[in-house]
């Protein structure tokens, strides 16, 4: 047996991930939720906790990390994220992002630490067509039904293909297969073959990489 991930659920929420290798457990990740089914705590394999806080609209407003750093997130009246700031426990800023949007709610820019800007452009259908930052421009093209068929960067292009049900079959050198219900069965990439299994209640309960 290769490497695998087993998922557990309660009331529709994922409560744990168990990594398996050669039939032995490698590590566990556990999740806790509040009465609104919002994730409030994630415990990693070493027992360290990440905690999450929300506003009345259900937006995440704070993420607290085991090393005592905190990420604060702010939103506008339309619940669009407008800033993300990460700080140490003594108030030192580690990272600062701000976001702007057009009247249709599409993100038009991201500014990191007040200097490094990323701009986004869209077509008349609202599809992302171009992302430009200090490293260059990435362009996206689509087929008539809205599937992305190509991603072109400064040095390479990734092409995508789909089946008649518009399920992604290939993304560059990565290939996918599906069952009759549209659930992904396999993914093949340079790391090998990953298999997915499902049960009647939950969307995904097992992945196996060989």
Whether residue 84 is found in the same domain as residue 147: no
Residue 171 belongs to a domain: yes
Q: Of the candidates 93, 122, 151, which is a domain's last residue? A: 122
pLDDT of 26 reads 72
Whether residue 67 is found in the same domain as residue 81: yes
Q: Which domain CATH number covers 97?
A: 2.40.128
Residue 19 belongs to a domain: no
Which string of DSSP letters, residue by residue, matches the chain?
Answer: --EEEEEEEETTEEEEEEEEETTEEEEEEEEEE-TT--EEEEE-TTS-EEEEEE-TTS-EEEEE-TTS-EEEEEE-TT--EEEEEEE-TTS-EEEEEEEEE-TTS-EEEEEETTTEEEEEEE-TTS-EEEEEETTEEEEEEE-TTS-EEEEE-SS-EEEEEE-TT--EEEETTEEEEE-TTS-EEEEEETTEEEEEE--SSSS--EEEE-
pLDDT average, residue stretch 145-155: 97
Radius of gyration of the chain (CA): 21
Q: Of the candidates 95, 122, 149, which is a domain's last residue? A: 122
Residue 7 belongs to a domain: no
pLDDT average, residue stretch 175-203: 88
Residue 30 belongs to a domain: no
Whether residue 114 is found in the same domain as residue 171: no
pLDDT by residue (tens digit) across 192-207? 999 998 876 556 655 5
Which carries the bigger pLDDT value, residue 171 or residue 198? 171
Residue 142 pLDDT more than 70? Answer: yes
Residue 210 belongs to a domain: no
pLDDT by residue (tens digit) across 56-104? 999 999 999 999 999 999 999 999 999 999 999 999 999 999 999 999 9
pTM of the model: 0.78
User: Which residue reads 């069952």 in tokens?
Assistant: 179
Residue 29 belongs to a domain: no
Domain with 104, as residue range(s), is 48-122
Look at the chain and report how many structural domains it folds into.
2
Task: Give the range among 42-46, 76-80, 153-157 with minimum mean pLDDT.
Answer: 42-46
Q: Of the candidates 87, 122, 157, which is a domain's last residue? A: 122
Whether residue 144 is found in the same domain as residue 189: yes
Position 14 confidence tier, pLDDT thresholds 50, 70, 90: confident
pLDDT of 81 reads 98
pLDDT of 210 reads 54
Task: Give the range among 4-8, 54-58, 110-114, 184-188 with minimum mean pLDDT.
Answer: 4-8
């Amino acid at each position: 047996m290769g490497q695998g991930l087993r998922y557990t659920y309660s009331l529709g929420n994922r409560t744990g991930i168990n990594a398996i290798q050669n039939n032995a457990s490698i590590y566990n990740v556990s999740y806790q939720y509040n009465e609104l089914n919002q994730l409030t705590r994630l415990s990693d394999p070493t027992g360290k906790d990440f905690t999450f806080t929300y506003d009345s609209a259900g937006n995440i407003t704070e993420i607290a990390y085991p090393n005592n750093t905190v990420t604060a997130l702010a939103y506008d009246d339309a619940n669009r994220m407008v800033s993300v700031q990460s700080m140490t426990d003594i108030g030192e800023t580690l990272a600062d992002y701000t976001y702007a949007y057009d009247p249709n709610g599409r993100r038009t820019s991201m500014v990191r630490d007040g200097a490094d800007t990323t701009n986004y452009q869209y077509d008349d259908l609202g599809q992302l067509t171009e992302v430009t930052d200090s490293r260059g421009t990435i362009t996206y093209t689509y087929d008539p039904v809205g599937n992305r068929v190509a991603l072109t960067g400064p040095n390479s292009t990734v092409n995508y293909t789909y089946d008649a049900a518009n399920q992604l079959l290939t993304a560059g050198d990565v290939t996918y297969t599906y069952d009759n219900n549209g659930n992904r069965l396999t993914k093949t990439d340079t790391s090998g073959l990953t298999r997915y299994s499902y049960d009647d209640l939950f969307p995904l309960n097992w992945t196996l990489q060989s």
